[in-house]
Chains A and B, each alone.
Chain A
Amino acid sequence: MSLSLLIVDDSSSMRKVLKKAVNMCGISSLHILEAANGVEALEVVKNEWVDLIFTDINMPQMDGLMFIEKMHEKGLLTQTPIIIITSEKREEELMKLKNTRAYSVITKPFRVEEIKENLVNIFGEEIFHESEDEEFEGSDF
């Protein structure tokens, strides 16, 4: 099974770190797309099939919440899970994010295990190669 992932973040370093984290999870076949804000991300989801979206919230031009709302409005990839990556730590704010269409919310700093746990919950164990666990044990991002 080949997975197509979209990473939406205005920070190129954060996109790189997320790509690295996902790669460290050991998915056997992976295609990663990137967008620097909600406007670019909408263009991607209009034209490409994506199995999972990671999105930041605070971004210029169109933020993550507006991107999620627009996707919903336009009926784009309505079944595709969305994981929000945020530096927000306030419980109330996190609750608001959890009440969007998001599948889950991961706060920074995060661990590779949190990413893998979400991938397992969404896609099951069969998407991974064998014995990748040791590689990322204890890795924070």
Chain B
Amino acid sequence: MSQKMKNLREVTSKVIEQMFFMNEETVPDTYDAKYKYCAYIDHAELKINLCCGNDLTKILTENFLGTEDFDENDMKDVLKEILNMIAGNYVGEYLREFPDSIPVPKIISFSKNAKSNNMPCETLFYEGLPLCISIED
């Protein structure tokens, strides 16, 4: 794992623990590494992706908003918010010379579950479900 990826993993874990009250788990015996949503930042000096399946996105959204009353737009918005916080913490910690303000994440959703992207992906697990993070080296 590259140093950049290690740093990103550390920051992601911290944000999800602090804001979403979930601790990273060990790799389950079996899991389906397919994703429904990918939030991404595509800046010349910072490219990060964060991909999640539907079930984990629902759990994260419920934990964040503190209610079961939300829709798909809320779920997408929460993933963007997670990536925004990850980027802010990553830049503050490891990329202080970053020339711009923290870029606003964008999101895509897939009609069928998909593999995340072609960048090397690090998978974290929450409630047995995978969350994929990647950063361009």
A residues with a Cβ closer than 8 A to B are 10-14, 16-17, 20, 57-60, 86-90, 93, 107-109, 140-141
Contact = CB atoms under 8 A, between A and B. Distances in A.
B85 A13 contact: no
Contact of B88 (A13, A59, A60, A88): A88
Given A11-B81, A17-B64, A87 B19 contact: no
Contacts of A109: 15, 18-19, 85
Nearest to A111: B18
Nearest to B103: A58
B93 A89 contact: yes
> Interface residues of A: mostly helix, strand, loop or mixed?
loop
Nearest to B73: A12
A88 B78 CA distance: 17
Which of B21, B66, B77, B101 has its CB near the most chain A CB atoms (within 10 A)? B101
A12 B92 contact: no
Main secondary structure on B side of the interface with A: helix
How extensive is the interface on chain B, given as a class?
A: 20 to 34
Interface of B: 15, 18-19, 21, 61, 64-66, 73-74, 77-78, 80-81, 84-85, 87-89, 91-93, 96, 98, 101-104
17 contacts: A11-B80, A13-B64, A13-B74, A16-B74, A20-B65, A20-B66, A58-B101, A58-B103, A59-B104, A87-B88, A87-B102, A88-B88, A89-B91, A108-B84, A109-B19, A109-B85, A140-B18
Contacts of B74: 12-13, 16
B85 A87 contact: yes
A16 to B, nearest CB: 5
Contact of A13 (B15, B65, B92, B102): B65
Contacts of B104: 10, 58-60
B63 to A, nearest CB: 10
B77 A89 contact: no
Nearest to B66: A20
Nearest to A16: B65
Contacts of A89: 88-89, 91-93
